[in-house]
Amino acid sequence: MAAPIIRRALLYVPGSSKKMLHKSRGLNVDCIAYDLEDSVTPGKKAEARHNLRHLLEQSRAPGIREQAVRINSVESGLALEDLQEVLKSPNLDALVLPKCNSASDLNFLTDVLRQTLPLRHPSNPNSSHHTPPIRLIALIESAKAIQNLASICAASPYLSGLIFAAEDFAHDLSLTRTPSLTEFLYARSAIATAARAANLPSTIDLVCTSYAGPEGQKTLEEECLNGKGLGFNGKQVIHPSQVEVCQRSFSPGEEEVEWAVRVVVADEKAARMGRGAWTLDGKMIDVPVVRKAKAMVERARLCGVDVDVVRGKWSNQEPE
């Protein structure tokens, strides 16, 4: 069975820069999206494909959970050439599809994947930990894409997440990005809601363009927490210095983990007593709250928190 997916930070690395590709292997990051699209000039596309083919044939770097490639959009006419090269790579985990405007864009990728890598289809019973299904992550960049979210989310069994591309969306709607990000509220809420409704594990928020120095890091953290409040569970990053802030911000905090563990421990005791609802710290705890707590405990495990130690601390917690 494939490992659970967590993408608190998705870092873009230009496929045309051998120096950056080499340095990326020393990072600790949930997902690296090696780029063949915006950061690669037209004259460097073939070279970048070759670079990524070579990179993804190497042994896996220990600090990278997921290795993805952002191909060129279907409408660009370059996607098939990208796929023909990178799908030969044994250590490719995911594809990031830019400018996904409709279900047909994902249908194209799905058809290519089924024909090229039939053993890595999500429904294949022969899929294993060593050959998990290829995953797709779709970039939502336009008004048309927002209107088509329901059909996009249902378009492919390979789909495992949505990404909001703010700059292209702003261009499409002639918007000016402001520090408050309120101009993107509808689009971001729509993306997070659609992904949740489709049971997609990842909702990845917009890039923070400010990252240099303490002020940049503060802005980044504020954006992370703002996105988390809207239902996003990860963020795109464009520089390695942004990774730690994102991965910390999108992990459950210490107080959150302690609350969740207390709820889970007490609920186990309440269940043995036949109690479906009870209180903790004077607040009612019922089935939806318990589900939230259990999900938070599981996410904490994925983020590297030693949940067993926390459980030991609160082993005497009783339902009130």
Q: Which residues are catalytic?
A: 286
How far, in Å, are 75, 198, 199, 303 from residue 37 at the CA level? 12, 27, 28, 30
SS3 291: helix
SS3 202: strand
SS3 120: helix
Please check whether residue 6 is in contact with residue 302, taking contact to mean a CB–CB distance below 8 angstroms: yes
DSSP 8-class letter at 118: G
Cα dihedral across residues 297, 300, 302, 306: positive or negative? negative
How many whole angstroms separate alpha carbon 209 and alpha carbon 243? Answer: 13
How many whole angstroms separate alpha carbon 46 and alpha carbon 153? Answer: 31
Q: With CA atoms as reference, report the closest residue to 134 among 101, 77, 88.
A: 88
The response to whether 70 counts as a known ligand-binding position is yes
Matching residue, tokens 């995911």: 94
The response to whether 38 counts as a known ligand-binding position is no
- CB-count burial class (<10 Å; 0-12, 13-18, 19+) for 176: exposed
Please check whether residue 41 is in contact with residue 16, taking contact to mean a CB–CB distance below 8 angstroms: yes
How many whole angstroms separate alpha carbon 217 and alpha carbon 73? Answer: 31
User: What six digits make up the tokens of 160?
Assistant: 């495992």
The response to whether 141 counts as a known ligand-binding position is yes
How many whole angstroms separate alpha carbon 219 and alpha carbon 246? Answer: 11
Binding residues for substrate: 70, 141
Binding residues: 70, 141, 168
